[in-house]
Structure 1
Amino acid sequence: MSTPTVGSPRLEYGTDTSPVPAPRVSWITTAAPDGWLQSGAELRLATTDGEQTATVDGGASVLVEWPFTPLTARQRGDLSVRVRGEGGDWSEWSEPVSFSATFLDDGEWTAQFVGLADPAERATPYLLRHEFEVRPGLERATWYATALGVYEAGINGTTVDDQFLKPGWTPYQYRLVHETTDVTGLVNEGSNAIGVSVTGGWYTENFGFRDGARPVYGPQPSFAGQLLLEYADGSSEWIVTGSDWRISDRSPVIRAGIYLGEDYDARRIQDGWDRPGFDASGWADAAVMDAGPVPGPRTGPVVRVTETLSPVEVITTPSGKTILDFGQNLVGRLRIRVSGPAGHEVTLRHAEVLEDGELGIRPLRAARAMDVFTLAGAGVEEYAPTFTFHGFRYAQIDGWPGALDPAAIVAEVIGSDLRRTGWFESSDPMVNRLHENVVWGMRGNFLYLPTDCPQRDERLGWTGDIQVFAPTASFLFDTNGFLASWLQDLALEQEAAGGVPFIVPDVLDSAHTPAAAWGDAATLVPETLYQRFADRGLVATQYPSMKAWVDQLLELAGERHLWEGMFQFGDWVDPDAPPEDPAKAKTDKDLVASAYLFRSSVALADAARLLGYEEDAEFYTDRAEEVRAAWLREYATPAGRLVSDAQTAYALAICFGIVSGDMAQTMGDRLAWLTRRDGYRIGTGFVGTPLVNDALSSTGHVLAATRMLLQTECPSWLYSVSMGATTIWERWDSLLPDGSINPGEMTSFNHYALGAVADWLHRVVAGMAPDEPGYRRIRIAPTPLPGLTHASAAFDSAYGRITSGWERTDEGIVVTATVPPNATAVVVLPDGARHEVGSGQHRWVVASQPEAPTTDLTPDTSLAAIQDDPGAYASLMSAMRDLDPEMAAEFSLRTAWLPTQTLGNSMGFLSPVFRDGVFKALEAAKSQR
């Protein structure tokens, strides 16, 4: 095939909307000869103003600057693209993508915020309505709306869209977003009515912990909306919220909250309230409220129902309660179909786990997480809460009238509707389940903003969590717009308070206390997005925020060039940290803080160089070198030992580039020694977990990294999988081996941070990474892990589908890769051979590595040799557990698995009966092989 084929272009914020006058454009060449590279492209824009074309020279096809006249508010158009390669013919024009501009012109937002004049209690839900007339000749109707709170709007009894909890959560005092919806199909000639249901949502929520929880924004929700009617004769009319709108506090939503849940009384439904002709004589005039900032168009993806799950089991608990198990820890709501007498209440309770056979609600803390539906008694009624969400796998159903048919209840999965882009698969079912848990954890916690957990009285945008998880997130889903929107909020909070807060939006007033790894989201999330999406514009937008953060830290570090002696989270939830003190980690907090000071300084210098700020680049490079020298002087010995002799400390030094060459190798060797000594159990918290396997594999310790990955004993990634987890836990032992919930107050079963290991699975195990920003040049370098027979990844990049993987066959290790058109790849095979390839499908075969010999288990066998042989270790543990499971668990956990210690010596303190029984069992097993 000599002529390429190109797909429809994509605008920067999706395929059918643009919240900016000059959106950037990307396109994918879907089919082309192997090795094809674009030499030019042509864009064609058709609008009511006519047709324009523009030429793009060279190979640029990702986030190309808008080459046409800037769009005007509500302008619609059709955009097509065609491409050609070097010396080739032009492709056919792509199918056009139709789009509309969603922004308003300056001064067009005139809607007033309205609400209840004298509400009976705080956060009172209410209904708003307004009737209007439409003349003949209507061409278009566009609805713009926002709230200090959350809302659902409809026209003539039909909701305007399928979005959930609009407009979401931003720092309300600094930034509001509005929805833009084409509602032409809902509007009729003649009389029409707008109906809006409003509750407090995040705006009226109490934020904080224990007795410190308090309202942050306001006591009552308010709403603002405006409808533009455009006629064929060129005239137009705005319908805007104001005191002429009618309001009622007789909403069927009795009360609702993010943590509370929703109470809904169907007897209070006012038939026809959102249709024309309704008698609203009992309603009041809406009160005009204090305005928030002028809202801007949404730039992130919308939140909606993305999947529906049915129950997999109906459980009757020891106390006689009825619980539905949906088989998956999810975020969303229940939808029920029920019939019963008027006034009868059905209560829906939610939890992530069971404990002692009952609903495990203690981890919810102060969150009620409960919905109560009061029936109207009108036959079969359907209900799903509109103004709350829950994190749950299990739902307890109380008060169901008659026999419960599980088919009458489904769980609706809700979250930001992100485009899935990345997949991973291996020969190990538990590793695959781990990866799936990462995906579900991300889906549940990406709901308008990246939250830490979706179930308890928190659900906050913790900066540290997304800082470590951003690389994983940016492979699994297209997160560029989502995280760019959140970073805008981070910068606003930072500018107002003078520092990067722990959470964004900052309802804890935390920006006055800088914290390493958390505040570094200001520098490292933009860096990640640039590497994964090649979004130079985002770096330019965030550069003042990045610079302000590093400048603040350099001032704190002073002449010693070390960030020390201040509050830090440190290596949060290190597995040795007690339940009541998750910050009490093995790795020194100051060591962590100064390592991040170095890392962010380097990121800032790189950003400055990218943007052409050469003086800044040189300045921050010099500062980074000063921090590096100070860190090594303070925390490392000349022999390569760190004062915190812990996994996280060495991983930071290696992966952040504080050490290199022989020193990096020495520290990698020490890290491998520590991991084996500890039985290849994980020893890291939020900071070290994303780095430890990278640090091991990059220094040649693939066996150690593999044993860490495949470990099933607590603490480990696969321990939670072995305990039935379907999302990533907050703690390594959120659920204890006996099935009880961790006694700490901070225990979540849906927390994505520790799932950041998935990035290592994608980049190192499957071997796919960007070698240039945005994957225009790809690095294919798979790492066959001992014990696995295959692994692969697929990624829908801005250039097309990339695949990378390996498989053990009779030929040897077969490595395969797919490179999309207009991209190239550098390939490093497991035997070290290096290739440069263009687009197309590729296959290589390298010799298999010989398997390590089986270790004989005798009293003289070293403990290190046993740990390095998974089969030998499994045989030893099996023999011990058959005799005494508790003693076996204690031996495994407390033994230092050192090369200088033998199995016989290590068992010297055990009872002779147990010791002799173990060796007899091992000898018997050997004779049967």
Structure 2
Amino acid sequence: MAEISISQVAFEHHREPLGIGEAKPRISWRFHGDASNWTQGGYSVEVQRDSEPELFHFNSSNSVLVPWPTVALSSSESATVRVRAYGQGDLPDTPWSDAVTVETGLFSKEDWSRAIMMGTEKKTEKNATHQPIHFLHQFSTNSTIEKARLYITAYGLYEAYINGNRVGNNVLAPGWQSYNHSHVYNTYDVTDLLQTGNNAIGIHVGEGWYAGRLGFFQGGTRNIWGDALGAMALLVIWTPTGKQVVNSYWGWVASRSGPLITAELYNGEVYDPRLEQTGWSSPDYRWRNDTNWLGNRELSTPYDQLVAPDGPPIRRVQEVQLQEILTSPTGKTILDFGQNLVGWLRLKVKGPSGTRIKLVHTEVLDHGEVATRPLRTATQTDEIILGEEPQTWEAAFTYKGFRYVQVENWPIEDTPLDEDAVVAVVVHSDLEEIGTFECSNPLINKLHHNIRWSMKGNFMSVPTDCPQRDERLGWTGDSHAFSPSANFLYDTSGFWRGWLRDLRSEQVKGVPPLVVPSVPGTGPPVATAIWGDAVVVNAWNTYLSSGDLDILREQYVGAKEWIDTGIPRNEDGLWDRNAFQLGDWLDPLSPPDDPGQATTSSSYVADAYLVYVTGLVGKMASELGLEDDRLHYEESVTNLKAAFREAWMSPEGRVAYETQTGLVLPLYFDLFKDGDEAVNASRRLQKIIEDNDYLVGTGFAGTHLLGLALSKYSLSETFYKMLLQTKVPSWLYQVKMNATTTWERWDSLLEDGSLNPGEMTSFNHYAVGSVANWIHQVIGGLAPVDPGWKTFKVQPIPGGNLTWAKTSYLSPYGKIYVEWSVDDTGFNLDLEVPPNTSAFVTLPRDTKNIRRVGSGKYHYSVAGFHL
């Protein structure tokens, strides 16, 4: 018997709806079940507050981001919600969903009850690392505790403790934001950590992104947003008689020093447990008359910038066991974890007091030694000094990108160096995994595995370029290229919403910075194509995957400003030829010392993207119902296409740069005059690729569109040959070289195993992993038709001698599953369509017969099909 139920109820894009920033959060629900052709005709929402539950009925097929049905929630208010959906006509109804509780955070300055951002009386460090600080406050609660919430943030990164116990499981909190515009605070349920009687709250703060060194020009920049570490907290305790409020104010104390000597993002930590103040955050800790404790002072409190998070926090997500212990040619001990990852080590060690263990983290080996040159000025080195007692240690305010760790001075006589003593802890933004892919070719599976790992390591509160060297910045161009792949692999909607809000806030005269948050250590803000275009493209891609019109609405003004005023133009409306461009960055033929020297003109690339993003702004206007804007931008696209052809094409339709990127862009962006010109250009592109032995010839501008452009012109088999190539430059070259993440350069590691001599040699960059978008759409056969996957297409294109593939995607409506195989009988396809959606199915060799199907399970076959 067919079943239908609601598997999840969610609010806005929050994975955990505690302390959210929306007073009227929109509600979504996913379905589970195999009911055939099931569509929703209506739904009911029950909202339970302190009074009797309210019940609301709606005749609507909408089940994603539907409006909050009742009066707005106030600060710190919770409501329990459950949903029931009704089948259209005679279709069955769902049972009531499980009840889910949503709770708001703090909406105003007054809600913070005069909590301040407190610093220490200790003189702040100048042009040097800030030593982490402990803040402490002891208090009493003389009543039964019914509920307690901690609202907290910091100037820097914090860890909070109540009565000696760690609060929550966030790490590197509150993450990284454009602090001048949005300063995130976190909300924790701390009911179970408090006790009737004496209590204590402690906060440990390190410099993090807020005051630490960032960027690479002239050694980077310190104290970008402030030069003093601080903490801000509000603890609210509900009792039978009312509320007790404990806030950060002048009555707290701060430590002069502590066991964490230094904690830097690029350089790691130095930790000495002999300086530990045991039990410092417990209620019976005696700090009075201890000269290590000082008074505090009030810093400027960012009331106007305080916001609840849009995306999930950074957390410990998994652990990776030690795989092998190596001895280098010079006799050094090196740990190999078998996976290039992002996070830190956890040690369990005992040895002679004063022993100074040194841990140097790198991504690769160079002639058997740890390769530190790609780190540039970052050291990624931790030092742990042992005390009298056995020590369990892991980092607090730093992270590294590494596979290998060189260990010095390990007390081997007291503690065996093995998997019990050392484990790698993987950390990243705790996104929900929603997309999977697997096929008959193990090398492609490994590539896809590597792409996922590079995404995990670089989605660290913001979308960074790399996790290891003196950079780790929110480069807009990288995220532009990778966002469609990211949106399939994980639920990134809240993550992008927060980052895009920061991007919008950082625009100056319409120009977005190259990195968001903006960092002076990367140079002055400058308008450049692809990177600046992220203000349009990333918003549009997020809308496609989520269906959230509010994200478009929030970003539309910034997108318009970029197109209308941010881009410097010539008299034809194209890019000013003197404008700075990064162009087809890291073209495979670019020399190691000049990654921007591409075979395709950067001005040509910029103009092609200008036509594309102008069209996207027109689409945004159309979705938002702004008819005058839509007509304006559509006319602008027509004029820009004509200007592009005049500037860069011959009358016969040949482009000025007959390269892979030079042809991919006008093919994908529809810049040719007519279909014949485009088909002829696609054949020339095919010939260029064949003559290049199916090796990649594109950089940042062309790589993410290469496969899509070929498939658009029925040349998927050509791209299969490129994808399966194992010589450099290719995707599988990296796999053959034992990569476990995707690289920045096609040849970050040369064929002889030596390092590329250039500076740009990260071994964990997600940009070239943008090929996953083609893998999901063409091999997997899945792509949205309507924003938010209300309708989607299923059109796998077998090739490359693959005999089967399996792809799944957990859409806003429920799980989509596609599995196909080719055997002696022909082509076989199994499909699962979630309730309240429909799919357009196209089978190989039957492309003119498009079947539209509703929810349910389907099997199709094409007899006699063979590869």
Q: Same fold (TM over 0.5)?
A: yes
Q: Does 1:101 align with 2:104?
A: yes
Q: How far did 1:395 drift?
A: 1.0
Distance 1:530 1:636 in 2: 33
Is residue 76–residue 99 contact of structure 1 (8 Å, CA) maintained in 2?
yes
Question: What is the aligned counterpart of 2:515 among 503, 526, 531?
Answer: 503
Moved more, 59-68 or 436-445: 59-68
Task: Note the residue ranges of structure 1 that are not aligned, 5 or more in a row.
Answer: 852-929
Moved more, 327-336 or 110-119: 110-119
Task: Note the residue ranges of structure 2 that are not aligned, 5 or more in a row.
Answer: none
Q: How far did 1:120 drift?
A: 6.2
After TM superposition, the structure 1 = structure 2 runs for residues 163-562 of structure 1, keeping only pairs within 5 Å, are 163-215=170-222, 216-233=224-241, 235-280=242-287, 281-282=289-290, 283-294=293-304, 295-378=306-389, 380-403=390-413, 404-407=416-419, 408-494=421-507, 496=508, 498-508=510-520, 512-553=525-566, 556-562=569-575
Distance 1:850 1:208, change over 3 A: closer
Q: Does 1:630 align with 2:643?
A: yes
Q: Does 1:118 align with 2:122?
A: yes
Distance 2:381 2:525 in 1: 35
Q: How far did 1:773 drift?
A: 1.1
Q: How far did 1:48 drift?
A: 1.0
Paired position in structure 1 for 2:6:
6
Distance 1:802 1:516 in 2: 35
Letter in 1 for 2:101: S
Q: How far did 1:49 drift?
A: 2.9
Paired position in structure 1 for 2:578:
565
Letter in 2 for 1:670: R
Paired position in structure 2 for 1:846:
862
Paired position in structure 2 for 1:706:
720
Q: How far did 1:594 drift?
A: 0.9
Distance 2:774 2:370 in 1: 35
Distance 1:633 1:240 in 2: 65
Letter in 1 for 2:765: H
Moved more, 751-760 or 614-623: 614-623
Paired position in structure 2 for 1:158:
165
Distance 1:774 1:370 in 2: 44
Q: How far did 1:600 drift?
A: 1.1
Paired position in structure 2 for 1:674:
688
| Secondary structure in 2 matching 1:663 | helix
Q: How far did 1:423 drift?
A: 0.8
Paired position in structure 2 for 1:916:
none
Q: Which has the higher contact order (CA 8 A, sep 6+)?
A: 2
Distance 1:310 1:676 in 2: 43
Letter in 2 for 1:406: D
Distance 2:802 2:202 in 1: 58
Distance 1:259 1:451, change over 3 A: same
Moved more, 661-670 or 330-339: 661-670
Letter in 2 for 1:805: E
| Secondary structure in 2 matching 1:185 | helix
Deviation per residue, 1:460-498 (Å, 9 max, x gap): 00000000100000000000000110001001111x564
TM-score, normalised by the number of residues in structure 1: 0.89
Q: How far did 1:218 drift?
A: 2.5
Q: How far did 1:501 drift?
A: 0.6
Distance 1:471 1:563, change over 3 A: farther
Q: How far did 1:850 drift?
A: 5.8
Moved more, 453-462 or 179-188: 179-188
| Secondary structure in 2 matching 1:692 | helix
| Secondary structure in 1 matching 2:208 | coil
Q: How far did 1:544 drift?
A: 0.9
Paired position in structure 2 for 1:898:
none
Question: What is the aligned counterpart of 1:145 among 125, 136, 152?
Answer: 152
Distance 1:545 1:800 in 2: 32
| Secondary structure in 1 matching 2:160 | strand
Letter in 2 for 1:516: A
TM-score, normalised by the number of residues in structure 2: 0.96
Q: How far did 1:339 drift?
A: 0.4
Distance 1:190 1:834 in 2: 70
After TM superposition, the structure 1 = structure 2 runs for residues 800-879 of structure 1, keeping only pairs within 5 Å, are 800-831=814-845, 832=847, 833-848=849-864
Paired position in structure 1 for 2:94:
91
Is residue 428–residue 788 contact of structure 1 (8 Å, CA) maintained in 2?
yes
Paired position in structure 2 for 1:579:
592
Distance 2:576 2:649 in 1: 16
Deviation per residue, 1:60-105 (Å, 9 max, x gap): 1111111121111122222111111122343221111123222344
Is residue 672–residue 704 contact of structure 1 (8 Å, CA) maintained in 2?
yes
Moved more, 113-122 or 74-83: 113-122
Distance 1:707 1:596, change over 3 A: same
Structure number, greater radius of gyration:
1
Letter in 1 for 2:858: H
Distance 2:711 2:623 in 1: 29
Distance 1:734 1:96, change over 3 A: same
Paired position in structure 2 for 1:45:
47
Is residue 8–residue 80 contact of structure 1 (8 Å, CA) maintained in 2?
no
Letter in 2 for 1:312: Q
Deviation per residue, 1:132-185 (Å, 9 max, x gap): 111213322211111111111101000111110111111112210101111111
| Secondary structure in 1 matching 2:205 | strand
Distance 1:371 1:768 in 2: 44
Moved more, 13-22 or 706-715: 13-22
Distance 1:566 1:692 in 2: 25
Distance 1:33 1:175 in 2: 45
Distance 1:225 1:83 in 2: 41
Letter in 2 for 1:842: Y
| Secondary structure in 2 matching 1:174 | coil
Distance 1:319 1:691 in 2: 45
Distance 1:511 1:519, change over 3 A: farther
Moved more, 286-295 or 773-782: 286-295
Q: How far did 1:270 drift?
A: 0.6
Question: What is the aligned counterpart of 1:34 among 28, 33, 36?
Answer: 36
Letter in 2 for 1:134: T
Moved more, 238-247 or 252-261: 238-247
| Secondary structure in 2 matching 1:14 | coil
Letter in 2 for 1:837: V
Same amino acid, percent of matched pairs: 38
RMSD (CA atoms)? 1.6
Is residue 724–residue 800 contact of structure 2 (8 Å, CA) maintained in 1?
no
Deviation per residue, 1:546-577 (Å, 9 max, x gap): 11111125662444434432100000000000
| Secondary structure in 2 matching 1:256 | strand
Letter in 2 for 1:400: W
Distance 1:631 1:246 in 2: 65
Distance 1:103 1:288 in 2: 21
Q: How far did 1:764 drift?
A: 1.4
Letter in 1 for 2:756: N
Q: How far did 1:293 drift?
A: 4.6
Is residue 730–residue 754 contact of structure 1 (8 Å, CA) maintained in 2?
yes
